[in-house]
Amino acid sequence: MVIKEFFNIFFSMFKRKKLVRLGFYGPVNAGKTSLANRISKDFTGEELGTVSKIPHETREIQIKEKVKIKKGNKELDFNLIDTPGIATKIDYTDFLKHGLSAKEAKERAREATQGVIEAIKWLENVDCVLVVLDSTENPYNQVNITIIGNLAARKIPVLIVGNKIDVKKSSIKRIESAFPQYKVIGLSALTGNGMEEFYNELFNLVR
Amino acid sequence: MKKGLTFQFLSYDEIGSLNSSDRIKEILRIVKENKILLIEGKMKSEEQAMLIQKTMQEIDKKFQGIEIATIEGKNSNAFVNVINSLEKMIFGDRSGFTVIGPASIVKEIKKDPNKIELFTKK
């Protein structure tokens, strides 16, 4: 017994700690960066990216490396990989409505198209994924179905996060019935409501 | 002059023999002619992701992207499902269908398990 204990301690000294590449995927303005910021701030005190009501605020992959997430006696190191929102269309005139100049809007649209391409490419570089959906929106959206279908085809573990439960018309049940084969967690990245259950499920995801 | 909507049907036989890249090129060629495309068979998720990437590469002043929806061809009868699986293996997946339209014309395609609604821009 004592010998076994000795070997356990001895080998654990040389065993490389697992680093999980956690991707944040989803449609535009679902709150991927808000959730990545909340997690990053909870465990490192720093945020990861900027958040805006203007669509396509995240237009490049943003990574926060070696975020140690602790929950009870569980502990894991994560690379948080926040990806640009995936869309099938981008019209620069939509940005004009948010007060951007024509030049800024065109540039934002150009960067946004590149961001979508990059986000899809990065599916090759993640170990597990949080699919972040806006729980106030209809989940039967082709972008959501395409993202989840691609993750299933690559056998990448998925946890669906229904964000914005603080908003009145939020419905987690609607997401659950759209994707019955997946675990769905409702939370508010804005208020922090639901984060405890989320962290528990996160450890189940990477088990 | 009043403008109408043009729908084009693409049967599995027309694109089934093409590889994914050529299939996507053909789909985008038709959609960029401002036509709404009805494709026999459900596009695979990987192909849809490729289509989104290719669409993003082609967005410019004229072309704003696409709206897409796939519809499952479901059957609750186990025997029919076995026959369908065999048919898929031999002839390819013709079940369900895919709707793709240019974003300049199609505002939204709403889908729930039982129906599909296509909304056009004014």
Question: Per the CB < 8 Å rule, is B64 touching A91?
Answer: yes
- Average pLDDT of the residues of chain A: 91
Q: Is A44 on the interface with B (CB under 8 A)?
A: no
> What pLDDT does A2 receive?
59
> What pLDDT does A6 receive?
62
> Six-digit token pair at B93?
């997946």
> Six-digit token pair at B43?
């596009």
> What pLDDT does A162 receive?
98
Could you tell me how many residues make up chain A?
207
Q: Using a pLDDT cut of 70, give the percent of chain A over it.
A: 92
How far apart are alpha carbons B71 and B95 in whole angstroms? 9
The identity of residue A27, as a single letter, is: P
CB nearest to A150's CB, from B46, B64, B109: B46
One digit per residue, the tens of pLDDT, for chain B of length 122 reads: 667 889 999 998 888 888 999 999 999 999 999 999 999 988 889 999 999 999 999 999 899 999 999 987 665 566 666 666 666 665 556 678 899 999 999 999 988 766 788 999 86
Average pLDDT over residues A127-148: 96
Average pLDDT over residues A138-148: 94
Is the separation of the CB atoms in B39 and A95 below 8 Å? no
Interstrand relation of B115-120 and B106-112 (parallel, antiparallel or unpaired): antiparallel
> What pLDDT does A27 receive?
96
Tens of pLDDT, residue by residue over A109-118, are: 999 999 999 9
Q: Is A88 on the interface with B (CB under 8 A)?
A: yes
Question: Per the CB < 8 Å rule, is B56 touching A113?
Answer: yes
> What pLDDT does B27 receive?
96
Tens of pLDDT, residue by residue over A181-195, are: 999 999 999 999 999
Average pLDDT over residues A52-80: 91
Closest CA to A158 of A124, A130, A120, A139: A130
> What pLDDT does A53 receive?
84
> What pLDDT does B52 receive?
97
Interface test with A, best of B24, B32, B44, B59 (most A CBs within 10 A): B59
pLDDT at residue A14 tops 70: no
Q: Is B60 on the interface with A (CB under 8 A)?
A: no
- Alpha-carbon distance values, A97 to A15, A48, A84, A107 (Å): 54, 27, 21, 15
- Alpha-carbon distance values, B11 to A16, B24, B71 (Å): 53, 14, 15
How far apart are alpha carbons B111 and B114 in whole angstroms? 8
The pTM score is 0.88
Shortest distance, CA B79 to any CA of chain A (angstroms)? 23
Shortest distance, CA A176 to any CA of chain B (angstroms)? 13
**Which long-range contacts link A114-117 to residues 24+ away (Cβ below 8 Å)?**
A114/A59, A114/B56, A115/A56, A115/A58, A115/A59, A115/A60, A115/A83, A115/A84, A115/A85, A116/A84, A116/A85, A116/A86, A116/A87, A116/A90, A116/B52, A116/B53, A116/B56, A117/B53, A117/B56, A117/B57
CB nearest to A116's CB, from B52, B66, B67: B52
> What pLDDT does A52 receive?
84
Question: Per the CB < 8 Å rule, is A138 touching B103?
Answer: no
Between positions 76 and 115 of B, the ones with CB within 8 A of A are: 103, 109-113
- The confidence band for A72, taking pLDDT boundaries of 50, 70 and 90, is confident
What letter would DSSP give residue A85?
Answer: P
